[in-house]
């Protein structure tokens, strides 16, 4: 009997941003079994046993769900594939540092002639891992300490704690994550946090202390999140010269909101997609579960990518949103929408479109923005197949509008308001993909339709973003 080692499966990176181009397409790695002395390929085989080596605190039922498919394999290729899938599923749990698979013929007394044993050699992550780093930005230096307790109770629960101590502000976040056993995509998350943000475009400082719980679950091809959040928000002026409109917003408020979001994402990459579409719909209802802020907020994001010839991609996006205050209190500056910046309506400064008071942007209760991009590889394709694939050139046309609506007027007047004074811009630039989480853009922009009070960035604009138009 021949022995087949399946160690040739390429090891996947454990976690963290991956700068290689390998995961860009996310295509499945085809498993090609090596030919050995005896041809097992087409023979029927039975997986008799699955062994685990190296399990410590991980509970058996958790891994049993993840590897149960291996038993269903009927021939060697299937065994290899199922074992590979099981390995990926195990790694996805984020509780193992390393998972290796060994497929061997069954050696026991009760071994069937075509019986196989599959052995998973796993190395668990340590009970406690820590990290620290320092950050500089916004005229502030800070030190960030992180603690992670993976696989806390043995069923892929995770507890993370992050503490940032800065020269001006301290923030922290504590989160507990619990997936359903055998169904990792269904999970529960509890967060406790304090974050401080400084928003110079509004001369506003905001400190949020909050607690939130969320449940994530997939339905068919969509991912849903149900969330309750209770936040104590403290707003204040960033400087003495802040406009009076910002001063009037200062003080404490308590928001308790229920929100739902739905995401369908068929794109092959989140940052520089080549094909596929994204639809994201968010809705948030605040005020019915307590607190002193009441509103209904709806917003959506749509992106469609189409691959053209010459390795270029045509990408179209549309965003929109609306905030309806409930009751007689006006909406808070912390809840309204903002538009403009190097990754939204380009050519305008960060969040510097729409209603403003003495140069401080107040945000709006309704907005839309759209963009058409043509992404192409770098001219002459330097660094092709490697570093160069992190870059794209793009030509873009962006448009959008942000304003406040008078909700007595009816939909026709709303559409008219959103259609007048449209800001738009066009230009070209270079996009750099930073892992699979963010991107950097260096663009030459020509802003058009500039309204009184908008702050523009005529010419070269540089910026980073996670969400982009």
Partner 1 sequence: MWSGGIPAMSLVTDAFVSQIAAVEPWPENATLYQPLRSEQVLLSDNASCLAVQAFLRMCNLPVQVVCRANAEYMSPSGKVPFIHVGNQVVSELGPIVQFVKAKGHSLSDGLDEVQKAEMKAYMELVNNMLLTAELYIQWCDEATLEEITQPRYSSPYSWPLNSILVLQKKWEIKRKMKAIGWGAKSLRQVYEDVDQCCQALSQRLGTQPYFFNKQPTELDALVFGHLFTILTTQLTNDELREKVKNYSNLIAFCRRIEQNYFEDHDGSSSSSLRLPKGPALP
| Pair of tokens at residue 259 | 């929100």
CB of 241 vs partner 1, minimal distance in Å: 9
Which lies closer to partner 1 via its Cβ, residue 203 or residue 398? 203
| Pair of tokens at residue 392 | 């794209």
- 341 alpha carbon, distance to own chain's centre: 19
277 with 285: CB under 8 angstroms?
no
Which lies closer to partner 1 via its Cβ, residue 330 or residue 383? 330
Q: How many CA atoms lie within 13 A of 186 on its CB side?
A: 7
CB of 416 vs partner 1, minimal distance in Å: 33
CB of 251 vs partner 1, minimal distance in Å: 3
Which of 222, 302, 215, 223 shows the shortest CA–CA distance to 259? 215
| Pair of tokens at residue 86 | 């099981």
Residue 351: partners with Cβ closer than 8 Å, 6 or more residues away: 199, 201, 202, 338, 339, 340, 341, 361, 363
CB of 167 vs partner 1, minimal distance in Å: 16
Q: Specify the stretch interacting with partner 1 by CB under 8 A; choose among 28-36, 107-115, 219-227, 287-295.
A: 287-295
CB of 48 vs partner 1, minimal distance in Å: 59
Phi, psi of 419 (to 5 degrees): -90, -15
Which lies closer to partner 1 via its Cβ, residue 311 or residue 358? 358
CB of 129 vs partner 1, minimal distance in Å: 34
Which lies closer to partner 1 via its Cβ, residue 240 or residue 412? 240
Taking CA atoms, 187 is separated from 158, 263, 270, 283, in Å, by: 11, 16, 22, 20
Q: Specify the stretch interacting with partner 1 by CB under 8 A; choose among 265-273, 286-294, 331-339, 378-386.
A: 286-294
Q: Which of 236, 276, 453, 465 binds partner 1 (CB under 8 A)?
A: 236
Q: Name residues contacting partner 1, limited to 240-259 (CB under 8 A).
A: 240, 244, 247-248, 250-254
Residue 332: partners with Cβ closer than 8 Å, 6 or more residues away: 233, 235, 249, 253, 293
- 366 alpha carbon, distance to own chain's centre: 24
Binding mask 347-386 for partner 1 (x = CB under 8 A): -----------x----------------------------
- When asked if residue 291 is in the footprint of partner 1 (CB under 8 A), the reply is yes
Which lies closer to partner 1 via its Cβ, residue 24 or residue 208? 208
- When asked if residue 232 is in the footprint of partner 1 (CB under 8 A), the reply is yes
Which lies closer to partner 1 via its Cβ, residue 88 or residue 292? 292
CB of 279 vs partner 1, minimal distance in Å: 36
Q: How many residues in the shown chain lie near partner 1 by CB under 8 A? A: 18
- When asked if residue 237 is in the footprint of partner 1 (CB under 8 A), the reply is yes
Handedness of CA 242, 246, 247, 250 (dihedral sign): negative
Which lies closer to partner 1 via its Cβ, residue 244 or residue 462? 244
Q: Name residues contacting partner 1, limited to 22-81 (CB under 8 A).
A: none
Residue 91's H or E segment, with its range, is helix 76-92
Phi, psi of 66 (to 5 degrees): -75, -30
CB of 415 vs partner 1, minimal distance in Å: 35
Which lies closer to partner 1 via its Cβ, residue 4 or residue 237? 237
Instruction: Please give the Cα distance from 193 to 163 (Å, whole number).
Output: 10
| Helix ranges restricted to H, 93-135 | none
β-bridge partners, 237? 204
Which lies closer to partner 1 via its Cβ, residue 186 or residue 329? 329
CB of 250 vs partner 1, minimal distance in Å: 4
CB of 237 vs partner 1, minimal distance in Å: 7
Which of 206, 365, 363, 227 shows the shortest CA–CA distance to 286? 227
Which lies closer to partner 1 via its Cβ, residue 103 or residue 235? 235
Coil/strand/helix, residue 305: strand
CB of 451 vs partner 1, minimal distance in Å: 23
- When asked if residue 290 is in the footprint of partner 1 (CB under 8 A), the reply is yes
Q: Which of 18, 100, 265, 292 binds partner 1 (CB under 8 A)?
A: 292
- When asked if residue 186 is in the footprint of partner 1 (CB under 8 A), the reply is no
Instruction: Please give the Cα distance from 22 to 386 (Å, whole number).
Output: 9
Residue 331: partners with Cβ closer than 8 Å, 6 or more residues away: 295, 323, 325, 365
Which lies closer to partner 1 via its Cβ, residue 237 or residue 403? 237
| Pair of tokens at residue 393 | 């050139």
Residues that bind partner 1 (CB under 8 A): 232, 234-237, 240, 244, 247-248, 250-254, 290-292, 358
């Amino acid at each position: 009997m021949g022995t087949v080692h399946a160690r040739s499966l390429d090891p996947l990176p454990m976690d963290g941003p991956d700068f290689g181009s390998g995961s860009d397409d996310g295509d499945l790695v085809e498993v090609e079994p090596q030919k050995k002395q005896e041809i097992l390929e087409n023979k029927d085989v039975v997986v008799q046993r699955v062994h685990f080596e190296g399990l410590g605190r991980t509970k058996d039922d958790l891994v049993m769900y993840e590897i149960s498919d291996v038993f269903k394999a009927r021939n060697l290729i299937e065994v290899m594939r199922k074992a590979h899938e099981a390995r990926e599923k195990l790694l996805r749990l984020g509780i193992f540092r390393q998972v290796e698979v060994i497929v061997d013929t069954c050696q026991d007394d009760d071994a069937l002639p075509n019986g196989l044993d599959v052995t998973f050699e796993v190395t668990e992550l340590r009970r406690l891992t820590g990290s620290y780093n320092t950050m500089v930005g916004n005229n502030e230096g800070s030190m960030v300490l992180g603690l992670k307790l993976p696989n806390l109770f043995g069923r892929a629960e995770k507890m993370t704690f992050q503490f940032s101590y800065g020269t001006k502000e301290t923030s922290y976040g504590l989160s507990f994550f619990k997936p359903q056993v055998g169904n990792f995509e269904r999970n529960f998350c509890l967060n406790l946090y304090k974050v401080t943000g400084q928003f110079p475009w509004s001369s506003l400082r905001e400190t949020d202390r909050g607690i939130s719980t969320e449940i994530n679950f997939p339905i068919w091809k969509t991912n849903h999140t149900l969330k309750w959040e209770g936040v104590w928000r403290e707003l204040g002026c960033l400087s003495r010269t802040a406009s009076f409109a910002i001063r009037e917003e200062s003080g404490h408020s308590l928001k308790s909101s229920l929100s739902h979001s739905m995401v369908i994402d068929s794109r092959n990459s989140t940052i520089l997609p080549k094909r596929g579409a994204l639809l994201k719909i968010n809705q948030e209802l605040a005020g019915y579960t307590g607190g002193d802020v009441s509103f209904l907020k709806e917003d959506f994001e749509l992106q469609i990518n189409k691959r053209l010839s010459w390795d270029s991609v045509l990408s179209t996006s549309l965003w929109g949103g609306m905030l309806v205050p409930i009751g007689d209190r006006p909406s808070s500056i912390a809840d309204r929408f903002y538009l403009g910046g190097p990754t939204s309506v380009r050519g305008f400064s960060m969040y510097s479109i729409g209603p403003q008071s003495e140069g401080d942007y107040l945000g709006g209760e309704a907005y839309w923005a759209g963009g058409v991009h043509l992404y192409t590889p770098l001219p002459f394709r330097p660094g092709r197949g490697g570093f160069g694939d992190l870059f794209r050139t793009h030509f873009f046309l962006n448009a959008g509008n942000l304003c406040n609506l008078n909700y007595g007027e009816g939909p026709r007047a709303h559409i008219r308001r959103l259609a007048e004074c449209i800001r738009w811009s066009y230009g070209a630039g270079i996009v750099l993909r930073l892992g699979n989480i963010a991107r950097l853009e260096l663009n030459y922009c020509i802003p058009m339709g500039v309204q009184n009070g908008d702050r523009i960035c005529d010419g070269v604009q540089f910026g980073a973003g996670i969400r982009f138009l």
